[in-house]
Amino acid sequence: MTGLLRSAWNAPGAAPPPPRRVWRDWVLVALVVVAAALEATLRTDLTQPLVAAILVIASAPTLLWRRTRPLLMLAITFGTTALASVLLGDSLLYTSGFVLFTLYALFRWGNGHALVIGSGILLASLVVSALTGTVLGDLIGEAAFFAIVVTLAFALRFRARARMRELDGARLTEREMLARDLHDTVAHHVSAIAIRAQAGLATAALKPDAATDALRVIEAEASRTLAEMRSMVRVLRQGEAPELAPGRTLADIEQLASEEAAGPRVEVRITGDTESIPPTVAAAVYRMAQESVTNARRHARGASLIEVVVQADAGGVQLTVTNDGEVAPATTPGYGITGMMERAALLGGTCQSARAPGGGWVVTAVLPRVGWTT
């Protein structure tokens, strides 16, 4: 029993951590204040409506800190409610039920010792309710409400933690794939270096120029190898591995037009010097083009055409994917768009998704040629 209590006391807070305060928190406080004032004015069964309203309004600001300081806010709100029960008896405002928000916040975000102390405060609150003459039915209802809120908070807490574990597992898998890709890339370049070095040694005595050419090739291969290694190692160290399409080139994007799939027709146009684009950049462009086409086929209502345009120049690669369908506006980007934005940012570029001027939807990504080697 002691070990279980110690384990609960030392339990960490919720993961991921609670969100920052948002405008909705201020709206919630304002609603509580207005509701308390109206209730105190309109209800005729209250013996001391002014005192009841003051106690609720004074404790309403605790909602602003309920996520970052859940135990303290719970202690304030439940302490105020207990004081109101002693002073006013049954003449409590229904608005005082906002304390359920602080109760939820504690069990959703609090750490171990906060949960243990908060549970004690919760039990003490029920005891005070019983001592102040609360009828048994109301007391059971109050305890039931508390149990429902605590259960909901724990359910969402464990769900968020499970989701975080899934994301960590996916990141770990992707990092392992990148490590294998790094091994294959380095092995390929080192093999080329070894062959060139052997050829240079074999011809050095008879053809000095051939040996010089071999050294130039070795230098170029070594530079590319170092660039690829720095690229991959940088991603592995950051722990945010983008989803790549190993071995893909910009030319492979043309396959998107030939894929047999239900939905609008896909047209691909590729211009510029695509051969000199680094493999990591080319793989990322291919993946973003594939993701954009998939999103358009799934979500663009009434689309008949998806245009994929890739332009490569000395500065890098620009990808533009346009469809002529209608996409419902979203308050936040979906997982696919968010992934493309993160992937582009990791490569030192940008990715945007917006309504096209002539109708439809357009995804635009710009990736520098240097990619991860900066």
Closest to 321 (Cα-Cα) out of 367, 345, 288:
288
C-alpha 310/C-alpha 319 separation (Å) is: 5
> Does residue 16 have a cis bond before it (omega within 30 degrees)?
yes
The region that residue 308 occupies, defined by phi over 0 for left and psi between -120 and 50 for alpha, beta otherwise, is beta
Question: What is the CATH number for 339?
Answer: 3.30.565.10
CA 2 from centroid of its chain's CA atoms: 38
In a domain, 165, yes or no: no
In a domain, 153, yes or no: no
pLDDT by residue, tens only, the chain of 374 residues: 566 667 767 777 787 788 888 889 999 999 999 999 999 999 888 888 888 899 999 999 999 999 989 999 999 998 888 888 878 776 788 898 899 999 999 999 888 888 889 888 888 888 877 777 666 777 788 888 889 999 999 899 888 888 777 766 665 665 665 566 666 666 666 776 777 677 777 776 677 676 677 777 777 767 666 666 666 565 555 544 444 445 567 778 888 877 666 668 888 988 887 777 777 778 778 888 888 888 887 777 777 888 899 998 878 889 999 888 776 555 445 556 666 776 677 677 888 888 777 667 888 899 887 544 43
Q: Pairing mode, if any, of strands 316-323 and 305-312?
A: antiparallel
Query: Do residue 227 and residue 265 come from a single domain?
Result: no
What are 357's two structure tokens?
Answer: 């001027």
Query: Do residue 223 and residue 262 come from a single domain?
Result: no
In a domain, 160, yes or no: no
Query: Do residue 29 and residue 129 come from a single domain?
Result: yes
pLDDT at 232: 59
pTM of the model: 0.55
Contact 284, 252 (CB under 8 A): no
Point out which residues pair with 272 in neighbouring strands: 312
**Pure H helices in 132-207:** 136-203
Residue 10, domain extent:
2-134
pLDDT at 183: 64
C-alpha 285/C-alpha 281 separation (Å) is: 6
- Single out the residue in 238, 262, 282 at which a domain terminates: 238
pLDDT at 128: 78
In a domain, 104, yes or no: yes
CA 240 from centroid of its chain's CA atoms: 12
Q: Pairing mode, if any, of strands 305-312 and 265-272?
A: parallel
Three-class secondary structure of residue 354 per DSSP: strand
pLDDT at 122: 87
Point out which residues pair with 326 in neighbouring strands: 301
C-alpha 279/C-alpha 269 separation (Å) is: 19
In a domain, 61, yes or no: yes
- Single out the residue in 238, 268, 289 at which a domain terminates: 238
Query: Do residue 182 and residue 204 come from a single domain?
Result: yes
In a domain, 28, yes or no: yes
pLDDT at 1: 59
Closest to 317 (Cα-Cα) out of 268, 354, 370, 255:
370
Query: Do residue 208 and residue 271 come from a single domain?
Result: no
pLDDT at 57: 93
Summary mean pLDDT of the chain:
78
In a domain, 149, yes or no: no
Contact 361, 323 (CB under 8 A): yes
- Single out the residue in 216, 238, 260 at which a domain terminates: 238
pLDDT at 271: 87
In a domain, 59, yes or no: yes
What are 95's two structure tokens?
Answer: 């608005």
Return the percent helix, strand and coil in the chain, to nearest 5. Answer: 65, 10, 25
CA–CA distances in Å: residue 45 to residues 83, 93, 143, 304, 314: 19, 10, 24, 66, 79
Query: Do residue 362 and residue 337 come from a single domain?
Result: yes
Query: Do residue 265 and residue 196 come from a single domain?
Result: no
Query: Do residue 27 and residue 95 come from a single domain?
Result: yes
Query: Do residue 262 and residue 228 come from a single domain?
Result: no
C-alpha 28/C-alpha 63 separation (Å) is: 8
pLDDT at 371: 47
Domain count, the chain: 3
Query: Do residue 10 and residue 118 come from a single domain?
Result: yes
Query: Do residue 207 and residue 117 come from a single domain?
Result: no
Query: Do residue 227 and residue 266 come from a single domain?
Result: no
pLDDT at 31: 95
